[in-house]
Structure 1
């Protein structure tokens, strides 16, 4: 294992890239009952692989083949809006982690809401996976970045299996739809994915970004002042009451209706989420994101995220941040989940490509927000 400093990471932030063999995982989106296509909740792949095996470039190439090339945009989670605010720790997290963000007090946050797909101009829809990414910046120069999605688990366990899924779900050029036989063959070969997809389908979608809750999916290790390590998954649980999207919602002709509703909601009053740890116990899988932990596991509320401002993506704001899950402060460490280092590697490749491209204004605009059509500053690496 190696720690790598990379351009644009704030002083003290730690960037870990673990070599993981021939593993690669691309993004994942949920639309309808079968999660077809390759709209993505995350983008993953292994790095520094041998010739003929999967690489970051091959995965990003596949994203571009399926979603098109959209200059300046993330190759996944392409349609988004920036949000800023603060995280107020209540001190309860300090029992598990010595990270400064869990000491009592408040730290600034730069966040991003997005649709989990690589098409930045795709109309909003009620069943696409949504994400919330945050960068917490306590005093002292360290940083904690986390990207979360609004489904309870991930559909695959390893990067290799997602690459297979991506191939199986690619649309047939003749019909524009995935081949059902190929998908069924994939699920037969990967029963853990069939089970995981069942759990995802069973969970209703929220009516918007504001009343959805967002899950880390991957496990991490919290390390406290005494050096004790505890496996944890976390979630940002919406304070706004959950309202389920109806099974047959009336069509909305506004292509940005979910984002417009989010903007209006924040203008009304600050948006809040509780940061909740789920505490793992011996035997709970930390290397398998397809399996939620038992519902009876202890949950600890460690503080409140407040987002009181939204703005369109522009140079210097969330557009140029890489929400790399391995940018971690002292007191939070990766688990043995093989997807973590793969996410980190692919985000970097995505950023390298979009950083050198002219920037197309975001589909999501906010009144009085100007988006310069200029190259990114390159001050942060992002997916």
Structure 2
């Protein structure tokens, strides 16, 4: 099948963005146990991901290039009626975070990867921890375990080009119409010139439990308060985003609004490939304030596994099976890089 040049470019762009979020599905097959004659394990799935994305001992298996930051969360009090979690009532909550670009290569140029991530840990005064890994895409390309595995296979680099085969990627998307929302987002997506002006999405749904025990289903997003500016067409600095963040923080703190979107009856709670309607109620839960940046991979976030199921009282996972699978994959990735780093004689 012949693919027009413009179509090839668009498909490869989708593949490049997909590589940045593929590891969100890296453990899903393990949970469902459906593929082939043998039950897949997190170890086997991470092996497959590394075979395709590259093996870099001692580094995170995705979002390998990043840097640690710290600051605090200032609650607005508006989410307190929705959840008993202390993070929504404590005036100032210490935060450790990490900005990163997608992919397994810790030596990639910052501007060469379209997807970015923000992972955060909130530590409240009641001893609770809340960790969340957020990404620039607001939705995933598929909604099932089978789809994630097929996506990984479709993104296998062609030995001749080092890139995914556009024909295989196009066939994959044709077989998965649920990818329409992701494809539309990727088509319209324009990377910003800074971590500071990027939006980050939690993608999966969670349950907020109020003091009366009533559940409120939400998705969350960090909305930047730094104005958007497009990434320049030509960037020569391989650490462009890291240097930009350091420069901005030298002039003062950076801010994001934590926006909660509430589901209504009929909204899918276990399907991260579908967006909820734009008119859903939103609650400004407070402001994330990032005050300082630390050396890449040597700061306070270095040894943190940003497992999305590390949740405080008052926040619970939805029935989305992807959440449990992400947790399994994150644990395998963390344990593997820790062993590798110990073997190399350095901390991960």
TM-score, normalized by length of structure 2? 0.89
Q: 1:277 to 1:195 in 2, by over 3 A?
A: closer
In structure 1, the residue matched to 2:27 is 45
Deviation at 1:180, TM superposition (A): 2.4
The equivalent residue for 2:317 is 334
Deviations 1:227-283 (A, max 9, x none): 1101101111111112233xxx43222111111101111111101111111111011
Q: Which residue of 2 aligns with 1:355?
A: 338
1:17-28 correspondence runs (5 A): none
Residue matched to 2:136:
150
Post-superposition offset of 1:202: 1.7
Deviations 1:321-370 (A, max 9, x none): 01111000111011121211111000000111111123799xxxxxxxxx
Report 1:90-109 matches (<5 A).
90-109=76-95
Count of residue pairs the alignment pairs up? 333
**Structure 2 Cα separation of the partners of residues 181 and 323 of structure 1:** 35
- After TM superposition, the structure 1 = structure 2 runs for residues 1-383 of structure 1, keeping only pairs within 5 Å, are 33-36=13-16, 39-41=19-21, 42-43=23-24, 44-46=26-28, 47=30, 49=33, 52-125=38-111, 128-245=114-231, 249-314=232-297, 317-358=300-341, 374-376=346-348
Cα distance in 1 for partners of 2:298, 2:65 equals 16
Contact 1:275–1:304 (CA<8 Å) still a contact in 2? yes
Alpha-carbon distance between aligned partners in 2 of 1:215 and 1:129, rounded to the nearest angstrom: 12
Distance 1:173-1:32 versus aligned 2 partners, 3 A rule:
closer
Question: What secondary structure does 2:161 align onto?
Answer: coil
1:83·1:309 contact (CA, 8 Å) conserved in 2?
yes
Measure, in 2, the Cα distance between the counterparts of 1:359 and 1:328: 29
Asked whether the 8 Å contact 1:31–1:128 carries over to 2, the reply is no
Please state whether the residue corresponding to 1:336 is helix, strand or coil.
Answer: coil
Equivalent position of 1:25 in the other structure: none
TM-score w.r.t. length of structure 1: 0.82
1:201 to partner: Cα distance: 2.1
Match of 2:7 in 1: none
Give the structure with the higher percent helix.
Answer: 2
- The secondary structure found in structure 2 opposite 1:290 is coil
**3-state secondary structure, aligned to 2:269:** coil
Pair 106,322 (structure 1): closer, same or farther in 2 beyond 3 Å: same
Q: How far apart are 1:157 and its partner, in Å?
A: 1.1
- Relative to structure 1, the CA distance from residue 300 to residue 180 in structure 2 (aligned partners, 3 Å threshold; closer, same or farther) is same
What SS class does the counterpart of residue 154 from structure 1 fall into? Answer: coil
Contact 1:78 1:117 in 2 (8 A): yes
1:177 CA drift (Å): 2.8
Q: Deviations over 1:13-56 (max 9, x none)?
A: xxxxxxxxxxxxxxxxx996322486333433144648613221
Pairwise CA RMSD of aligned residues? 2.2
